[in-house]
A = this chain, B = another copy of it.
């Protein structure tokens, strides 16, 4: 039950400079607060609502940037993968491979990711009960990889809405894997803008505070210096300049939650 870790970064990698700026700023904030930090960004948004949604800079361009961020800032990096071929390539650079929620039941992808030996962060599908994630974790551990994280990111609740069931967190913990709460995608409104997904940025602190009070290993928060002009997930990213106060409160709650659990 160590203190909270933060998985954060902009939703998608935009440019080398932007990635460095964001990683540097987040490294500074987390160092001041004594919170562990993993840099997250996507090289490809593979399931945009429509074809015209911006997809990201691509694998070839992104991997050297991830490598340089690791070297420059001494932080682990995480990115999401979408098919089996990407797994070994990404694992050469990235510390953590993330399985997207929609793909959490795709056996071949889970096995290919597991076999790289990287840490695997699996997001719980919006369509999955928390107790069913044990089957997902088993697909990875039975493939020989015991370094698994599981991430809660909301459950389908009617149409165009997710709900975060806080009971999910202790249920996920029963898998034995550290539990991450994704406060960014939990406030997503899937398809809520017609040709794009909406979001409720104002509820990111609400849900993150709730999850940390229940007890989690880490929180996942996408952030951007100018969310309203970000190429994806803008409506649910937190502004970079709100991060420090937000994280400070989480660290205080985390200390109490972990003391109560001890």
A interface residues (Cβ-Cβ under 8 A, vs B): 46-51, 55, 82-84, 102-103, 105-108, 111, 125-132, 135, 138-139, 142-143, 155-161, 163-167, 169-170, 187, 190-191, 195, 200, 202-203, 206-207, 209-214, 245, 249, 252-253, 256-257, 260
Contacts and interface: CB of A to CB of B under 8 A. Distances in A.
Which one of A108, A126, A166 has the highest number of Cβ atoms from chain B below 10 Å of its Cβ? A166
B156 A127 contact: yes
Contacts of A83: 83-84, 108
Contacts of A47: 105-107
Given A51-B139, A158-B159, A253-B256, A128 B190 contact: yes
22 contacts: A46-B107, A49-B105, A50-B135, A51-B143, A102-B102, A102-B103, A102-B127, A126-B127, A132-B160, A135-B195, A156-B156, A157-B163, A158-B158, A158-B159, A159-B161, A167-B206, A170-B202, A170-B206, A209-B214, A249-B256, A249-B260, A253-B256
Query: Copy number of this protein in the oligomer?
Result: 4
* A-B pairs, 9 with minimum CB distance: A158-B158, A213-B213, A210-B210, A129-B159, A132-B191, A156-B156, A47-B105, A209-B213, A126-B127
